[in-house]
Amino acid sequence: MTAQQIIFLIVALYTLGSALMVVTTRNLVHAALWLVSTLFGVAVAYALLNANFIAVVQVVVYIGAIAILFIFAVMLTRKDMRDAGPQMNSNWWAGALVAVLVFGGLTSLLSGWSGFQNTAAALPSGFDAISLLGESLTSPEAFVLPFEVASVLLLAALVGAVYVAFNKK
Amino acid sequence: MSFWNDPLKVAADWLEGVFAGWGMDAILAHVLVAFLGVFLLITILMVLDIFLVWIERKVVARFQDRLGPNRLGPFGLIQPFADIIKLIIKEDTTPGGADKVVYNLAPVLSMMSVLILWAVVPIAPVMLGTDLNVGVLFLIAAGAIGTLSIIMAGWSSNNKFAMIGGFRQVAVMVSFEVPMLAMLMIPVIFAGSMNMNAIIDAQNVWYFFISPLGAVIFLIAAIAELGRAPFDLAEGESELVSGFNIEYSGMKFGMFYAGELLHAFTFGGFWAILFFGGYRFFGLEQVSPFLAILILVIKAMLGYWVIMWVRYTMMRIRIDQMLGFNWKFLTPLAFALLLVTALMNALLAGASTWLYVFGMFLANVVTGWIALEIARSATRKERASVEGPKPVEAHH
Amino acid sequence: MVPLSWYLIFAAALFSIGLFGVLVRRNAIAILLGVELMLNAVNINLVAFWRYGEALAMTGQVFAVIVFAVAAAEVSVGLALVISVYRRRNTVVADELDMLKW
């Protein structure tokens, strides 16, 4: 067990534990805070994969914006400060069964792939992920079109969200 | 590599040698030395925080034409220690019905979000917590954790005023992150890298002279992020019974208060690093790392003084005025400035240094002047529609 | 050396937990929380394939950035819808939102 493997195991167990708390805890604000902890664990996983720009963007976008949006939405859609009623469906065993089957199916499907046990190649020295990412996102031979379409999508979502949630008095 | 040239590496190597001599294996010794380094940095920052309390009270007193604390110790230097003792012996209440875990975690997260910023601050050419190549974005990421801690504090206090104060503060912080992010991109455009050390190395001319409007907008957005006046609607003592802080007493309140002061000093430091050359001062920083630390601390103190100056001079702005100011004026101006900067950077790419500096400075001044003229005409129209047409005066 | 299989299994487990949350929770916002977990699992997969495959071609990271943008857009519109529904029907429990206008 190398140090890297131990660190990955700790991070993975922490993230999966937080994710389980997200979907099982009764108090919705606690669920949103457990989501923050899960997102943080995922950011650490990105850092372990040497994708540090993606890790920092994960913290800024997900924790700094999306998780806060969730907390606001939870606080704005409740009549009092407590959560009433059961928080799981009556068919929760069926949902659990489907989740376990999906997990089993995914792992068995992937383990049949030849590259399943690959190890990571060492990154070339002087590897500047940020400038390469910038070039891929803005170069016409690479991915400038999906980038521009994503920005139009964000504009549409911005206008739509403001219009839908607008309180016409 | 003597102690005076590279103190941290010499100390770390010596300590690792000591631990290896005791029989620890290399990786564990390395991790332990790293932990000790973090512990040392946090201790120094917290001690600095105590003196920031003293500085704040003395400076506000001088701005208000009085003396400030001068009874305890020479020049009132013992006063912060008296404050700490008072906060520690105060009763540590938890409001009934509060969410205990979240309530107790909020001040810890608030302090953590400030201390974690110092991991990317280069205090000397060879002394740096971690040399991230996305150091500039790390600033925003730590701000995100601070935002989270405020909303946790506001909600878990089980108090409507705390919740409203927390919501308002978070709305302001999230809104002003947008122009701050745009202005953080301006030193990145000039230096060509998001690495803090690279930005400092590239500042042969301080970026304040190349992009003054960028520095000013960054300062305004930073003051709003800090939650200080004129943007302190959430925690001003006369507004909303001090906002998300209401139910916190004793050392938990002390952590919020001290964290806010340290946050202000940290942003003074970032303003110095991004726009005033950081630890560089005409080559003095190459002499010794301790001199570089001194230069950075002086510049950070000057930045902190500017932030205090703004606080004790300007009136508080209402929440709707704050958000309107951000979304209708500051964000369009920030993005326009970013576009103009990128355009001028591409146009003046091969020019000599003085032409570059002059061209950028001119572009900044023109952009700022146009923005102010647009704002002025909009204000004139609004005032005319509210007041009605002015009566024509009879001339004799 | 962490083999690729560990990251893929981790992402599959996170995806299944998110799927469980979507299928089982009653509150509409809790369902959106499950969707967020699934999107994060997908992102981990993409970045892992970038790292363990051809690291010089930034395709995996570009995909991950686009997924960030799409997730942010989807969460904002979804939560706006939930808030709007709460204003009309005064409930966010998914079981009770089963009829269109009557």
Instruction: Give the end of a domain, one of B89, B114, B145.
Output: B89
Identity of residue B214: G
Q: What is the pLDDT of residue B388?
A: 74
Per-residue pLDDT of chain B (396 residues; tens, 9 = 90+): 567 777 778 888 888 888 878 777 777 888 888 888 889 999 999 999 988 989 988 998 999 899 888 888 888 888 888 888 998 898 888 888 778 888 889 999 999 999 999 988 888 887 787 888 888 899 999 988 999 999 888 888 888 888 888 888 888 999 999 999 999 999 999 998 888 888 998 888 889 999 999 999 999 999 998 888 787 776 665 565 667 777 888 888 888 888 889 999 999 999 999 999 888 888 777 778 888 888 999 999 999 999 999 988 888 888 888 899 999 999 999 999 999 999 999 988 887 888 888 888 999 999 999 999 999 999 899 888 888 777 777 665
Q: Report which of B330, B309, B152 is spatially closest to residue B228, judged by C-alpha positions.
A: B309
Q: Are B82 and B107 members of one domain?
A: no
Q: What is the CA angle B222-B224-B225, rounded to 5? A: 60
The answer to the question of residue A114 being in a domain is no
B218 & B279 share domain: yes
Look at A59 and B144 and tell me if their CB atoms are within 8 Å. Answer: yes
pLDDT of residue A58: 94
Bridge partners, B122 (sequence order): B128
Cα-based angle B321, B324, B328 (whole degrees, multiple of 5): 145
- Same domain for B329 and B307: yes
**pLDDT computed for residue A169 by the predictor:** 65
Is there a single domain that holds both residue B100 and residue B79? no
B260 and B243 together in one domain:
yes
The answer to the question of residue A116 being in a domain is no
Q: Quick one: A71 and A140 in the same domain?
A: no
Closest residue in C to A50 (Cα) is C51
Q: Which pLDDT value is given to residue B241?
A: 64
Cα distances (angstroms) measured from residue B81 to each of B88, B227, C70? 11, 25, 51
Please spell the DSSP secondary structure of A30-96, one letter per residue: HHHHHHHHHHHHHHHHHHHTT-HHHHHHHIIIIIIIIHHHHHHHHHHT-SSSS--S-SB-TTHHHHH
Residue C83 is nearest to which of A31, A49, A73, comparing CB atoms? A73
Output the pLDDT for position B277: 86
* One-character DSSP codes across C25-63: B-BHHHHHHHHHHHHHHHHHHHHHHHHHS-TTSTHHHHH
CB contact under 8 A, A36 and B167: no
Closest C-chain CA to A108: C9
What pTM value is reported for the model?
0.91
Count the Cβ atoms, other than its own, within 10 Å of residue C56. 11
Query: Are B156 and B23 members of one domain?
Result: no
Cβ-contact C100, A168 below 8 angstroms: no
pLDDT tens digits for A44-71?
999 998 888 999 999 999 999 999 999 9
**Average pLDDT estimate for C9-36:** 93
Instruction: Locate B177 and state its tokens.
Output: 């992150």
Please state the rounded mean pLDDT for residues A4-32.
92
Same-domain pairing of B41 and B119: no
Residue A107 lies in a domain: no
Residue A30 within any structural domain of the chain: yes
* B164 and B274 co-located in one domain: yes
SS3 B127: strand
| Number of A–B residue contacts, CB under 8 Å | 64
**A31 vs B: CB within 8 A:** no
In the block, tokens 């004139």 appear at B380
Note whether residue B392 is domain-resident: no
How many Cβ atoms are within 10 Å of B227's Cβ, its own excluded?
24
Last residue of a domain, one of B89, B113, B146: B89
Q: How many other C-beta atoms are found inside a 10 Å radius of the C-beta of residue B162? A: 26
Q: Which of B89, B123, B143 is the last residue of a domain?
A: B89
Q: How far is CA A26 from each of CA A23, A29, C53, rounded to the nearest angstrom? A: 9, 9, 41
Which residue's entry shows tokens 């500042």?
B203
- CA–CA separation, A145 vs A125, rounded Å? 30
At A14, which helix (H) or strand (E)? helix A3-24
Q: Does residue A127 belong to any structural domain of this protein?
A: no
**Full residue range of the structural domain in which residue A162 is found:** 132-169
At B242 the pLDDT is 63
CATH number of the domain where residue A19 is located: 1.20.120.1200
Q: Check whether the bond before B230 is cis (ω within 30° of 0).
A: yes
- Give per-residue pLDDT as tens, A103-160: 999 999 988 887 777 777 777 766 778 888 888 888 888 889 999 999 999 999 999 9
Flag whether A119 is in a domain: no
Q: How many CB pairs under 8 A join A and C?
A: 250
Name all chains with 3 or more CB-CB pairs below 8 Å to chain C. Answer: A
State the Cα angle at B78 between B76 and B81, rounded to 5°.
135
Q: B128: helix, coil or strand? A: strand
Q: Would you say residue B390 lies in a domain?
A: no
Please name every residue paired with B277 in a beta bridge, in sequence order, or none if there are none: none
Question: Residue B141 is nearest to which of A29, A59, A129, comparing CB atoms?
Answer: A59
Q: Indicate whether B231 and B148 sit together in one domain.
A: yes
Helices (H), chain B: 7-21, 26-63, 79-89, 100-115, 135-156, 160-191, 196-201, 207-210, 212-226, 251-275, 289-311, 319-324, 331-347, 353-387
Do residues A121 and C55 make contact, with C-beta atoms less than 8 angstroms apart?
A: yes
Nearest CA in chain C to A30: C30
Q: Which pLDDT score, from 0 to 100, does residue C69 have?
A: 94
Residue type, B187: P
Residue type, B388: G
Pick from A46, A67, A82: which residue ends a domain?
A82
With respect to residue B311, please indicate whether it lies within any of the assigned structural domains. Answer: yes
Q: Which chains form contacts with chain A, at 3 or more CB pairs under 8 Å? A: B, C
ipTM of the complex: 0.91
- Domain co-membership, A73 together with A138: no
Q: Are residues A7 and A75 in the same domain?
A: yes
Adjacent-strand bridge partners of C93? C27
SS3 at position B132: coil
* Residues B204 and B263: beta-carbon distance below 8 Å: no
- Do C51 and A50 make contact, defined as CB atoms within 8 angstroms? yes
Contact B236, B244 (CB under 8 A): no
- The percent of chain C in helix, strand and coil, each rounded to the nearest 5, is 80, 5, 20
State the pLDDT at residue C32. 94
Q: Residue A157 corresponds to which tokens in the numbers above?
A: 């979502």
A165 three-class SS: coil
* Cβ neighbours for B374, distance < 8 A, ≥ 6 positions apart: none
- Alpha carbon distance, N-terminus to C-terminus of chain B: 85
**Is residue B276 within 8 Å of B208, Cβ to Cβ?**
yes
Look up the domain containing B313 and give its range.
Answer: 93-383
Instruction: Inform me whether the C-beta atom of residue B143 falls under 8 Å from chain A C-beta atoms.
Output: yes
CA distance A64 to A99: 29
If asked whether residues A1 and A63 sit together in one domain, one would say yes
Between B307-311, C3-7, C24-28, C89-93, the lowest mean confidence (pLDDT) is in: C89-93
Cα separation, B374 vs B370, whole angstroms: 6
- Exposure of B341 in the CB half-sphere (CA atoms within 13 A): 26
Number of domains composing chain B: 2
Domains and CATH numbers, chain C: 4-94 (1.10.287.3510)
Please indicate, yes or no, whether residues B196 and B219 belong to a single structural domain of this protein. yes
Residues in chain A with CB shorter than 8 Å from the CB of C90 are 79
Query: To 5 degrees, how large is the angle CA A17–CA A23–CA A24?
Result: 85
Angle, CA B72 vertex, CA B69 and CA B76 arms, to 5°: 40
* Interface touch A29/B151, C-beta < 8 Å: no
Looking at the fold, whether B243 and B273 belong to one and the same domain comes out as: yes
Three-class secondary structure of residue B122 per DSSP: strand
Q: At what angle do helices B26-63 and B79-89 cross, to 10 degrees?
A: 110
Tally of domains in chain A: 2
Task: Based on the fold, state whether residues B126 and B15 are members of the same structural domain.
Answer: no
Q: Which residue from B minimizes the CA distance to A131?
A: B193
A21, part of any domain = yes
Residue B161 in 3-state DSSP?
A: helix
CB distance C44 to A44 below 8 Å: no
Indicate the range of A12-21, A93-102, B281-290, C85-94 predicted with least confidence.
B281-290
Same domain, A1 and A78: yes
Tell me whether residues B140 and A60 touch, CB distance under 8 A: yes
